[in-house]
Structures are given as C-alpha cells and as structure tokens.
Amino acid sequence: MAIIFQKPKALKDTSMHYCPGCTHGIAHRLVAEAMDELNIEGDTIGIASVGCSYNSYDYFGCDMIQCPHGRAPAVATGVKRSNPDKIVFTYQGDGDLAAIGTAEIIHAAARGENITVIFINNTIYGMTSGQMAPTTLLNQFSTTTPYGRQADLHGFPIKVCEMLATLEGAAYIERVSLHDVKHIRKAKEAVKKAFKVQQQKKGFSLVELLSTCPTNWGLNPVEALNRIRDEMIPNYPLGVFRGESLEV
Amino acid sequence: MVHEIILAGFGGQGILSAGRIMAYAGMLDGKQVSWLPSYGPEMRGGTANSSVVISDKPVDSPVLNSAGSIIVMNKPSLEKFESWVDKGGIIIIDSSIVNKDVSRKDIKSFRIPATKIASEMGNMAFANIILLGKLIAEKGTVSVENFKKALYAVLPERKHNLIPMEMEALKTGMEYNEV
Amino acid sequence: MGQRLLMKGNEAIAEAAIRAGCFHYFGYPITPQTEIAHYMAKKLPKVGGVFLQAESEIAAVNMVYGAGSTGIRVMTSSSSPGISLKQEGLSYMAGSQVPAVVVNIVRAGPGLGGIQPAQCDYFQACKGGGHGDYRQIVLAPSSVQELYELTVEAFNLADRYRIVVMILGDGILGQMMEVVEFRDKEEIADIEKPWAVTGHGGKRKQNVITSIHLDPAVLEKMNQNLQDKYRLITENECRYELYNSEDAEVFIVAYGTVARIAKSIIEMAKNEGLKVGLIRPITLWPFPQEAFDKVKDRAKAFLTVEMSSGQMIEDVRLAVNGTGPVYFHGRMGGMVPNKFDILAQIKEIYSRHINS
Ligand SMILES: Cc1ncc(C[n+]2csc(CCOP(=O)(O)OP(=O)(O)O)c2C)c(N)n1
Ligand code: SF4
Ligand SMILES: [Mg+2]
C-alpha cells in the first residue's frame, strides 16, 4: 500500500491540545515539514515561548528550550551565538512577540541575528482567555477591550512585518495566511525559505502566519477561517516585506 | 449545619455553574457560602470540579478534602471522589455517562440517567440541574424558591427563557426514584 | 453594612480598589489574577477612570510609578512571573517613596511553573524582592471579605507611609467566590501629598521624585530615614488573628488560604480532644511578633503550614525564638495541604510533646 499522507517526521506522534479550529496545529505541521525536507531536525534547536504553544516541545521532535514570556529571540541569540552551525528558530504568539517581547524581536532583527522566527498572529492573547493583543484590530472585542478596541484609548494595531522590514539587519520577512489550502501551501514555502535563509547564513528571517483563535473570538472554526480572509488580510496585507529577491 | 458539596465531571457539563447556583441560593437562604472552581485551560476539554460549602456559621475552609455530598458526571470523577464521601454521606451519579456504581457500603449512592432524561426534555445541558434536584431532595441543601432566584442571578440573561424548563428539570430530579 | 454580593476574590479586589478611590489601573494579563483586569476594563471607563493594558509587567509597574508620583491612588496586579518583572519598579518606588498598591495572586514556580495556588513568593514579597535595603507592607487576606477590606486598607496605608503595599493572595483566593458585604461608604484617609509632582505652577518649590543619591553620606541618611519609617510601621501596623487560642497547646501558624484549612482542622482536632489554636499573620511584613509573645506561655509546639518549601517558617522561628519547637508542613507545585495529613502530624506532635 502506498503511503500518500503522514505526519512529518519532525512532529511527534501525540495528539495536540489545541482547540478545534485552531491553526497552531497547521503552523506546527509546516515547521515540521520544513525540518523534514531540509533534513535539519537533528541540528535544530527550537525556542518555545509563552502562549498556547508554550509546550510545542511536546510536538516538535527537535531539541527545544522553553523560555520566559517575550524573551525567545534573546534566548535564541544565546543558543545561536554559541552554536553558529545549528539551526535555531523561535515560535511566538502576537502577545509574546509584539507586546512583552518587542525589545527582543527588534534588536534580534536589527543585529541581523541569524535565526528564524515563526510568528503566530491571531489578534488575541489565546492562552490567558482572550485579552487584547498589540495586533487586535480596531473595534475588535476582547476581555480587556469589552467595548471594542478604540484607537484613542488602546492605540493602533502593530504591523510587525512592516515595522521590522525597516531594519537593515532583517534578511527575509514575509506575511502569509493559514485560512485555506492555497494560502497554506504558500505559507509552507515561506517557512521553508526562512529556514534556508538561515542555513545560508543570510541573517534574520521571520514569517508571520495569520492564524485563528476560534475559542476567544467566539466563532466556530469555519467562521474563524473566514474572519482571517475578511477582516485580517485587509488590515495585514500578505506578501514579502524584505528579501523578495533573496535567492535561496 | 454545614453542607459540603463537590461536583465533578467534564468541562462543558455545567459543573462550575451548578456549584455557583447552589452557592448563590445558599446566600439567598441567609447562609455563609463559598464556591471554589477548579481553574485552568479547561475550555480545551479535560475535567472540571467545584467545591461548595453552605453553612450556618462562617465557612472554615473553602478547600475540601472530603464532603457529605458528591455529584459525579463522569467515570474518572467517580474513581477519584468515591473515597472522599464522608461516612453516611451521599454520592449522586449521572448513570447515563457512568456505568459503574460505588463499591463502598457506608455511603448512599443514587444513580440517575440525568443526561438521558435531559436530552428527552430537549436540552442536555439540564443534566446538572436534575442531579442538583436529587441533592436538594435528599439533603435540603437550599430552598427551591431561592434556587429559582439563583438561576436568574447566575445565568446570563440570554438563557433566562430556559429557567422554567430548568425548574422542571429540578423537579424531575427531586422526584426521581431509582427503578 | 450595605449590599451582600457573591463575588470572586479577584473581582472583590478590583471593586474594593475603585471604592477606595483608585481610578487608575495598569496591568498585563496573567492567570490566575486576570479577572482583576477584566473587571477594571469594564468598570473604570464608566466612572471616568483609566484602565490600561500595558505591553509588559515592566511597563505596567513603571506606569504605576509615574501615576503614583503625581499623588493619585493607583494599582497594578499580577501573578508570580509577572511580579518578578515588577521588582525593579518596586525598588525604585521604595527608594523614592511613591505609594501604590500591588496585588500578587501567587501561583507555583519557579520559572513558568504552573497556574495553581502557592505561597512560594513569601520571601520575594517580605524580604525585598528587588535590589536594595527596602521593605513593603505585605497584607495576607484569607477570605473574599478580607480581600475587599484589606484592599481598601492597603490604599490608606500606602498613602499614610508613602510605601508600596502588596496584597499577597493565591490562586484559590483569587478564583473562589464568597459573600462580600460592602460598607455603604469607605473610610478614605485624607492625606496631603505635598511631595507629588503636579506642576509647581510657580507657587511652590520644585518637587523631584528620585532614588539616586551618588553621595554615599546622603544615600545613607536617606536609607536611615527609610529604616525609621519601617520601624514606625512595625510598631503601629502589625495585624494578626488568634483563633481558638485560649487553651490551645499546639499552634498552627498559617496565612491566607492555608489559614482557612487550618480552621477546619481545629474543628476536627477538638472532636479528638486535641487543643489546637491558630496564629494567622495578616501582615506578613511587618511580621506580628506580638501574637507569638501572647501565646508563648501556653504553646507547647508550633506547626507552620505553607504552600511552599518553608518560607514564613523562618520568621516564625525568629518570633518563637527558641521558646518552643517549630514544625513544618508544606506542599509545593500548586498542591494544597490536605487537612487529614495535617491532623495526623498534629497527633504526632501531641504524642511527642504533650501526651508523652
Ligand atoms: C511574565 C509573564 N507575564 C504574563 C504571562 C501570562 N501569559 C501567558 S500566555 C500570555 C499571552 C499569550 O498570547 P500570545 O503570545 O498571543 O499567544 P497565543 O496564546 O495567542 O497563541 C500571557 C500574557 C506569563 N506567563 N509571564
Ligand atoms: S485558545 Fe485560541 S490560540 Fe489557544 S489553542 Fe484555543 S483556539 Fe488556539
Ligand atoms: Mg495570540
């Protein structure tokens, strides 16, 4: 019998704890497929952050470190600088990367730190039950914006790719989406490219994946995917923000 | 008089809200009360339990290591909590979910197919109320009148139209006799 | 007494703060205290106040530093990992004597640890978690009613002594519901704050909030002033509860949730003919020495019970000062002490020191 579909080798054979309709699982799969295809799992060190994916070490088979909220790029820097030939990636949510971890991500990018950042933007703090994230859209409800996010009170959403793309140290920055098969395929290419950029020592790479949090959005899985298409992409345009012509 | 109650089951079975309703009703009865939920990422499945104390005097400990009345709505909870029932206490089991009975002889067990009855009534979510009905009938924990008021206070407004049905469910539980 | 409400501990803290005239809250989400932020986010805009979700705990505590410097009542809350990040700010506020209320709904550590209740941040709270020779008043409520009352009191103490007051709770206190009876009106200490930076308007001398003093002689003097203040607080503000202490022979020493568990054990012990009392420190700093002095003649042994590896026990030993044996019972990692285990240990202590 021919096997036409199986788990990537770099994903462990366990069931995931994510809610139904959550795209964290898809994002994990893409990272694992990239590790498989580049045959790097054994040389990779992943940095798990603080968010619903805090225990991504239960799913990824490579060596991993769990680190404090927002500090993954700094921890990754320590690993990479002491082991320049290893592949190092962080897996961070939008609260983790764009709120408490803003300083670390900006400086890692500015230093051109040769690491790969997988950035899960679901416009909310998933794990702590739905508070506003820096990426929460205007008028979006959350448990800390019970009357909707207002620019005058809560400021504007942070566009991470656009912001980091201004930094010369950043080699490759792309935003992709996980809301349908076509876009997932594209996302896969972006994730793989990010790892290749690192393999070829070209510098800092980051892929932002527009993701769902049906639980805290109060939507069912299908509605949540549609929300990415209808509300998120218009505010977070897809595309390559840096390193378009970078050959890998 | 002190009523110590533990409710346990899966997240989503109304374990936490059932406890809150009891605590609220106890308060309306003029008693001292505490309600302690298990907490954590329960929304992603897993078990839930809540401890309720209803007392004539200030509640000593809201944390229970034993209880006079325990309601269980899944098998792991029965296995965990059977030994927690005070000697002479009661355990009320949703027998549509838990096919096991207790092995202890020094406690009283009641098996009610609450989820099945609730589905027949048209709403599975009433199962917890049916079980509370049995508890109130056996122990006189809170008054039925204040139980109803507590439903109005604890349930969100969009569910208030269901309360007459919930009171039906309560009555069904109170009058249920094992066959 | 006014309204009787069934409330979560976290919500009672938030409501108490607003009643105490705190209309500015800065925080960052973390379990198991986030309901404080949710409540503030809903209520503060309705009363003309400010709820702001900071980008981190480090930012939140510095927002508190700034707001507190202007003389207003201000609060932040968090749980253990977040409180660790706040230590720098707390040290600066201690050094520049900026009053504020900080809530720590403790969870188990170290590191990311877990989210279940613990008392493992006692050292951090009571012994100066940040750098420098400083103290903060630490209040340890043990019921939702007390969370309310002590939060109101915390603001008065903070203003009176220009000091940070920490409410040290745990996940159980934050998450559980009990009946709270609110007073019709709160007693709000009316304290002048001539030191506040509000713009001198050309009418008074410049005010400066600072903690840097490069001249060691000046810095030593400033430290001496702080120590004088801490002595005054120790003299005036120790709080504790003695429970069932009249003829007790063995004393449990416990605070917060654990003190509640202790009370249920005392009932059980009574039925077995054991005379057990409770010393419940309400201020953890200053530590209530007086409670121990009061019972020292009749106490044959002490049993400190904590949700930690044994932190408060160091202060208990100092307070008992060799007048009796001090035993320990602790659980860690979010496990809660079991009343039957504690009772068994009390029986052992009884047989060793009393029935022997
Ligand atoms: C210092 C510190 N502050 C706060 C927290 C609580 N916390 C855990 S996860 C989280 C937010 C996670 O949101 P995000 O990064 O968007 O990840 P998601 O869960 O949405 O995937 C927070 C604030 C913590 N663990 N440590
Ligand atoms: S809470 Fe949201 S982000 Fe977290 S697992 Fe559930 S759906 Fe995913
Ligand atoms: Mg998120």
**Which CATH number covers residue B118?**
3.40.920.10
Please state the rounded mean pLDDT for residues A56-64: 98
Does A213 sit in the ligand 2 pocket, CB within 6 Å?
A: yes
Count of other CB atoms within 10 angstroms of residue A5 = 4
Residue B39 has pLDDT above 70, yes or no: yes
- pLDDT value at residue C334: 97
Residue B42 has pLDDT above 60, yes or no: no
Q: Do B43 and A215 touch (CB under 8 A)?
A: yes
Q: Where are the domains of chain A?
A: 24-242
Fold observed for domain C241-353 = Rossmann fold (3.40.50)
Residue B43 has pLDDT above 50, yes or no: no
Query: What does pLDDT average to in each consecutive run of 10 residues of chain C (356 residues)?
Result: 87 98 98 97 98 98 98 98 98 98 98 97 97 98 98 98 98 98 94 97 97 98 98 98 97 98 96 97 98 96 98 98 97 97 97 89
Fold observed for domain A24-242 = Rossmann fold (3.40.50)
Please state the rounded mean pLDDT for residues B67-93: 97
Contact by Cβ (8 Å): C251, C278: yes
H or E element in which residue A212 lies: none
- H-state helical runs in A120-238: 151-154, 160-164, 181-199, 214-217, 221-227, 233-235
The encoded tokens of residue A199 equal 């393999």
- pLDDT value at residue B47: 85
Where, residue-wise, is CATH 3.40.50.970 in chain C?
4-236
CATH of C4-236, one of 3.40.50.970, 3.30.70.640, 3.30.830.10, 3.40.50.10540: 3.40.50.970
Distance CA C336, CA C108 (A): 11
Q: Looking at chain B, which residue has its C-alpha nearest residue C142?
A: B61
Place of tokens 């020592």: A201
- pLDDT value at residue B44: 55
Interface of B with C in 58-97 (CB under 8 A): 59-63, 65-66
Looking from the CA of B151 toward its CB, the CA atoms found within 13 Å total: 22
Q: How close does chain C come to A223, measured CA to CA in Å? A: 25
Q: Do C53 and A143 touch (CB under 8 A)?
A: no
Q: How close does chain C come to B148, measured CA to CA in Å? A: 16
Number of compact structural domains in chain B:
1
Q: Do C56 and A99 touch (CB under 8 A)?
A: yes
Does A52 sit in the ligand 2 pocket, CB within 6 Å?
A: yes
Could you tell me if B156 lies within 8 Å of chain A, comparing CB atoms? Answer: no
Q: How confident is the model at residue A33 (pLDDT cuts 50, 70, 90)?
A: very high
Distance CA B94, CA B74 (A): 7
Residue B41 has pLDDT above 70, yes or no: no
Q: Do A100 and C37 touch (CB under 8 A)?
A: no
Q: What is the ipTM of this complex?
A: 0.95
The DSSP symbol for A230 reads I
Contact by Cβ (8 Å): C284, C257: no
Could you tell me if B179 lies within 8 Å of chain A, comparing CB atoms? Answer: no
Question: Residues near B29 by Cβ (< 8 Å), separated by ≥ 6?
Answer: B54, B142, B143, B146
CA dihedral B19, B22, B26, B28 (to 10 degrees): 120
The encoded tokens of residue A55 equal 């225990």
pLDDT averaged over every residue in chain B: 95
Q: What is the domain range of residue B56? A: 2-175
Please report residues of B whose CB lies closer than 8 A to that of C171: 39
User: A203 by DSSP, 3-state: which?
Assistant: coil
Looking from the CA of A144 toward its CB, the CA atoms found within 13 Å total: 30
**Bridge partner residues of A195 (DSSP):** none
Of residues B178 and B29, the one with the higher pLDDT is B29
Which of A15, A16, A17 best probes binding to B when mutated, by most B CB atoms within 10 angstroms? A17
Q: How confident is the model at residue B45 (pLDDT cuts 50, 70, 90)?
A: low
- H-state helical runs in C162-302: 171-175, 216-236, 256-271, 289-295
Percent of chain A with pLDDT over 90: 97
The CA A79 to ligand 3 mean position distance, Å, reads: 25
Q: Do B34 and C116 touch (CB under 8 A)?
A: no
Backbone angles phi, psi at A37, to 5 degrees: -70, -30
Distances in whole angstroms, Cα of residue C83 to Cα of each of A101, A137, C158: 17, 29, 18
Distance CA B56, CA C48 (A): 40
Where, residue-wise, is CATH 3.40.50.920 in chain C?
241-353
Distance CA A52, CA B155 (A): 29
Residue B46 has pLDDT above 80, yes or no: no
β-pairing, C283-285 vs C137-139, is antiparallel
For ligand 1, atom 10, the nearest C-alpha belongs to A51
